[in-house]
Amino acid sequence: LALKGSNYAGLLERHRIHTKNVEHILDSLRNERIEVRLVKRREYNEETVRWADAIVSAGGDGTMLLAASKVFDKFKPVIGVNTDPERSEGHLCLPVRYTHSFPEAIQKLYRGEFRWQWRQRIRLYLEGTGINPTPVDLHEQQLSQEQHSRAHINERFQDQKSDVSGPHLLPVRALNEIFIGESLSSRYVCLLENFKSCKPSFKFSLHRASYYEISVDDGPWEKQKSSGLNVCTGTGSKAWSYNINKVAHQAVEDILKIAKKHGSLNMPLNMELVQKVTNYYNESLLYNPEEPKMFFSIREPIVNRVFSSSRQRGFSSKVCVRSRCWDACMVVDGGTSFEFNDGAIASIMINTDDALCTVLLEE
């Protein structure tokens, strides 16, 4: 790492800080004679979740997503402590001050100086031809693309007799969002030569548009081509969805200038108004994590003779997507992925049974 110019010393320091913060949480809990089991990422599983009365995630927002991913019990509280405040925004965690004074958080919990916050989550049904593979047990290492595909094809053909293509409820609940898009291959070649002219041995398309059909709230199916579809929760409205949809100060200024000129408007166009409009617009993209509604966004929609996009985004209760992709997937919270190729149909919705129980401490 150091050879590459990476900040190895910085990484080591952050690890030290994290470890110290974890110790602090452990000590605080054990001082209250609360039995604590410390598990790392790879040991964390549903059995551990069942054993616990509550789960504390020690890390950043990513660790919270991982912690939540194994919790399916609406009444199992998950509390996030941000042990890496320099690096993580900690949207899903307790305010940063509790990281160094966790006993204070514990006292508030004892005294009832908090309220439950049920963060709604998204569930996924999958159906269609060719989506009924038996589980392929892959190790936590990289298979070659070829080996991986072969494994799937073999399984799929073996299972054709029991081809039950009714909707399957996938064993995941999205706390942030579901993202659907073409898989992007890592097959690339570094072809730099010092002295000779370079001959790329193969080319590939890194950015491939995703083709699919979408139906919102049981509305008519619409063919679309875009850089992907994001369906988020109130929790996720602050995450990737926000970055997809927010407008830049610069763009708002340009739009208002054009409107002023073309509408022959008598508009006092100053920085204050631009900032106000930008902030209000961007804030309207966020909503309460407890609201049982989803927000869908189409990323970089391609509009031409064939494809249309009546609405680029909006709230909905249900989104159905029919894949017309070659090599796409559905990604849950940036962490788990499901194959989603031509012929597969996904139904996406919120069920309040799936909510995640978290806490909001009184301030």
Q: Which of residues 112-141 bind a second copy (CB under 8 A)?
A: 126, 128-141
User: Minimum Å distance from CB 258 to a second copy?
Assistant: 5
> What value, to the nearest 5°, has the Cα angle with vertex 309 and ends 343 and 245?
105
| 302 touches a second copy by CB under 8 A | yes
Beta carbon nearer to a second copy, 6 or 351: 6
Instruction: Judge whether 285 and 222 are in contact, CB under 8 Å.
Output: no
Least separation in angstroms between CB 43 and a second copy:
14
| Site membership for a second copy, residue 339 (CB under 8 A) | yes
152 scored as a contact of a second copy (CB under 8 A): yes
Q: Which of residues 25-84 bind a second copy (CB under 8 A)?
A: 46, 66
- Crossing angle (nearest 10°) for helices 249-262 and 271-283: 120
- Does 165 participate in binding a second copy (rule CB under 8 A)? no
| Residues 86-105 close enough to bind a second copy by CB under 8 A | 89
Residue 337 Cβ vs a second copy, minimum distance, rounded to whole Å: 4
Q: Specify which residues 361 forms β-bridges with.
A: 114
How is residue 147 written in tokens? 């080996």
Task: Please identify which residue in 194, 271, 362, 363 interacts with a second copy, judged by CB under 8 A.
Answer: 194
Contacts of 280 (CB under 8 A, 6+ apart): none
Residues that contact a second copy, how many (by CB under 8 A)? 107
d(CA 115, CA 79): 12
The binder of a second copy chosen from 50, 100, 276, 293 (CB under 8 A): 276
Least distance in angstroms from the C-beta of 4 to a second copy = 5
Name the segment binding a second copy (CB under 8 A); options: 8-16, 94-102, 306-314, 354-362: 306-314
CA dihedral for 90, 93, 95, 101, sign (positive or negative): negative
Among 53, 75, 115, 146, binds a second copy (CB under 8 A): 146
Token digits of residue 337: 């992925």
- 13 is a site residue for a second copy (CB under 8 A): no
Task: Judge contact between 293 and 317, C-beta under 8 A.
Answer: yes
User: 252-271: which residues touch a second copy (CB under 8 A)?
Assistant: 252, 254-256, 258-259, 262-263, 265-268
- Rounded to a whole number of angstroms, the minimum distance from the CB of residue 282 to a second copy is 10
Question: Are 87 and 326 contacting, i.e. CB atoms less than 8 angstroms apart?
Answer: no
